[in-house]
Amino acid sequence: MTLIVDDAGSGDLLFGVVIGAYREETDQFTYDVIDVSYYQELFCDKKYLKEASRVVQKLIKKLKIKPREKIQVCQGCIFDIAVADLKEKYGEDLISKIRVIGEPQRLIEESYLDEIRNLGYEPLENRETKRAKSFFHMMEWIKTDPKRLKFAKTGWPRLKRYKLFSQINKIESCSKTICSKCGTSCEVPFKPDGNRPVFCSDCWKNNNPRRKSRSKTQAKFL
């Protein structure tokens, strides 16, 4: 018995990434998704690698891996952590990286296409041989309605060259967090690092030393 793991959508602008698992001997197939948020504000942290490992483990459990069953994983770097975790759990002799072709590749690709069609987008025919055209086709679809930016992998650094995505990066620069003083939910114009306190606008006004200094200076002249 052999389980084959592959992904689709990693290099595509729209949606997250589909990860699928296929058992050759029984023709069993299942898939799950890495949410697009991992390719937006979370992209720089590469948390999608750990999420890919979590999804792979989930799929293997769903297919009820057999004793000493081999697991073959696509060579893509998205599975670097997943492969390491699989080797630790099942043994290095049962895990290998391969170039996935044939039925598992087709099923996983079709699953990705189904997901982006659910967004309302119709992909180009033979898009695998038209990668550049497919990218711009997706981008043009987003341009017709900027609200569709929520479906895009906006965290890719190379997108900054396009005006459409430079605008969304400014919008996404605001992060949701919890005020360190009053405990209320708020948004701040930067990404909290977890090492320094973060204040909502009201608490910031009360804790801003420059503001207090100005108040004291003004008081001297009253």
User: Tens place of pLDDT for every residue, the chain, 222 residues?
Assistant: 899 999 999 999 999 999 999 998 999 999 999 999 999 988 888 999 999 999 999 999 999 999 999 999 999 999 999 999 999 999 999 999 999 999 999 999 999 999 999 999 999 988 888 888 999 999 999 999 988 999 999 999 888 888 888 655 444 445 678 888 888 887 765 667 677 788 887 787 676 554 444 444 444 444
| Prediction pTM value | 0.73
Is there a single domain that holds both residue 72 and residue 125? yes
Give residue 50's Cα distance to chain centre: 11
Tokens found for residue 104: 């598992």
Q: Which residues pair with 185 in a beta bridge?
A: 178
158 in any annotated domain: no
Is there a single domain that holds both residue 137 and residue 185? no
159 in any annotated domain: no
77 in any annotated domain: yes
Tokens found for residue 20: 């699928």
Is there a single domain that holds both residue 124 and residue 179? no
Amino acid 192 reads: P
**By 3-state DSSP, what share of the chain in percent is helix, strand and coil, each rounded to 5?**
50, 20, 30
Is there a single domain that holds both residue 179 and residue 138? no
Q: What is the CA radius of gyration of the chain?
A: 23
Judge contact between 17 and 78, C-beta under 8 A: yes
Q: How many domains does the chain have?
A: 2
Range of the domain at 198: 175-220
74: nearest Cα among 109, 99, 53, 104: 99
